[in-house]
Chains A and B, each alone.
Chain A
């Protein structure tokens, strides 16, 4: 709309300028070489009009950024419930899990107003611990999940909420301590990690200009830890700049 208005305004100005030329006496000139000056002027005006129109469009695109001065990086704390696949064969071992993640809304590299809201990526560390056994013989196992996961979000209209789907890769670092009486043996290893999941994400503005936002999520994420499968049901809360 703005683009149309600007173009119309420029077009009207051009007509007024042309009106001045029309008011002047039109000499009769049968010298065709001198008659080419007017079309050249019109062409020059048209070029100018096009350039100005393009500049106006660029200015309009830049306005999208000005509307949301947020640069799209942030961090979140994520608590939740991790359902570790049980080595016992059936069911899961439910354990509290927490972690932190760094988020980059890389969609902001895309000029398009709609697309720029649709992509982000998380670099996440999550931790859960599981211990079992008797007083004499027991094992403590600590699971660290490191992943890099891009996500595709679909905003709910103009609201601050969106739904997203995410895929990621990383590794699981498992550190275990086996206790037998007073003896302790420590061991650690890594496993390939593949994650996928769904969630809802909100990022309402804290400051009026929108440069600082709160982010929050609820999510359901599945981790393929080598040949084991774990499920995370959790939330996230953080800040986005």
Chain B
């Protein structure tokens, strides 16, 4: 009996905590003043607390992702763009990682993280759960299966065409259908990106965009075959809509909406201000317009102009929605515009697919027209036409306009705060 007692005690005590959902935990989240603080939150979808796995997200530690054009495996079948999702995952994820092991101290039924990474991971899971709830609401209560069991590679070693691992970032990598949270460098001073609910909302929005607009393809043919403004528009659209949804995810928090959600995590104020969704002076300038039409895909994705054009789209959505006072209508209109098989009112997915070989047809006007066409509120439709026309310097300055048939004739380009740029040469 005594012989059994010792290993039994050891075995009992060695079990990780696994309370049934909902689980009360402490996390870092915005408090009522909007400042990030330790607050008690409820994780409703968690099935394993120590491993931070649940129906919304599954965290994975120690993964290593390498995109290297010199890797012979990555050149099989003519390259990773020709591989299936499973093949690509096998080839690019060099180390598949392992379950994370959150360290908790339980107090009166509330689980407190006992080290920094557990704080970071719990907060990240909470943010994924809140992002999921946001999209369920935007999808009108339809459970978005593409946003369930999201694979999150925590503290992953990621090298994308570089010998140096990425730092200070959180990304959605569509080609392996995984979110990655990479280490931050020693000089990181602010709220870690994984703890920032707006940042996680932004990344989840990329997943939704990829699933709905880009047909859930790891590497969509438009991204490999298009160049110039059509490619640049696709990337900026993805970033701008992700920022708009990221802002939307912050709204249910006690402090309310935070359109400038990056300011707590990014030290470079020029980038923070440039990506502020509520920015009133977001206007296309000549340099950005030239870059938009002339930059190669490689130049564009490395340039801040990609985010700037994205911000012009996001700021237009924000201003139009707030002028009418119903951001929810705008959020639902966006999701409706992502994928609409209706031949009379096609979505972005249909626009892209029907123009894979004619990318020149995918323009600022055609894309914004699809978004406007899916807005159900007439006043918002008009305001959105005005905002797009002014901030993006669209060809349509007055309506009706052939390139934007969805805009009502009551719409028109304002001249403030964005003066009209001279026509393109």
Contact = CB atoms under 8 A, between A and B. Distances in A.
B94 to A, nearest CB: 13
Given A139-B116, A176-B114, A187-B114, A88 B188 contact: no
A137 B191 contact: yes
B133 interface: no
B62 A88 contact: yes
Given A224-B10, A224-B14, A227-B15, A89 B154 contact: yes
Given A136-B191, A191-B13, A174 B114 contact: yes
B19 to A, nearest CB: 14
B114 A90 contact: no
Interface stretch (A41-49, A110-118, A126-134): A126-134
Nearest to A84: B115
Contact of B9 (A135, A176, A188, A192): A192
A105 interface: no
Contact of B192 (A87, A89, A134, A169): A134
A189 B38 contact: no
B331 interface: no
Interface string B303-339: 0000000000000000000000000000000000000
Contacts of A131: 116
Interface in A157-210: 169, 174, 176, 178, 180-181, 183, 185, 187-189, 191-192, 194
Chain A facing B: main interface SS: strand
Among A87, A183, A187, A194, max chain B CB count under 10 A is at A87
A132 B118 CA distance: 11
Interface residues of A, number: 36
A69 interface: no
Interface string B137-158: 0000000000000000011000
Contact of B14 (A138, A183, A226): A226
A130 B114 CA distance: 10
Contacts of A228: 101, 103
Nearest to B105: A189
Contacts of B278: none
Given A134-B184, A137-B192, A185-B38, A174 B105 contact: yes
B125 interface: no
Contacts of A138: 116
Chain B facing A: main interface SS: mixed
A141 interface: yes
B98 A89 contact: yes
A76 interface: no
A152 B118 CA distance: 38
A135 B100 CA distance: 24
Nearest to B103: A87
Contacts of B192: 133-134, 137
Contact of A87 (B6, B9, B60, B118): B118
A187 B105 contact: yes
Contacts of A135: 188-190
Interface string A135-162: 1111101000000000000000000000
Nearest to B101: A87
A132 B185 CA distance: 11
B272 to A, nearest CB: 15
B61 A176 contact: no
B29 to A, nearest CB: 11
A89 B190 contact: no
B25 to A, nearest CB: 13
B116 A133 contact: yes
B121 interface: yes
B38 A178 contact: yes
Given A192-B10, A194-B14, 12 more contacts: A87-B101, A89-B97, A89-B99, A89-B155, A134-B191, A136-B191, A137-B36, A137-B192, A139-B113, A180-B36, A187-B114, A227-B15
The 3 closest A-B pairs by CB, nearest first: A89-B61, A90-B62, A189-B105
29 contacts: A87-B100, A87-B101, A88-B61, A88-B117, A88-B154, A88-B155, A89-B62, A89-B98, A90-B61, A90-B62, A90-B97, A130-B115, A132-B117, A133-B116, A134-B188, A136-B191, A137-B191, A137-B192, A169-B6, A176-B114, A189-B114, A192-B13, A194-B14, A224-B13, A226-B16, A227-B14, A227-B15, A227-B50, A228-B101
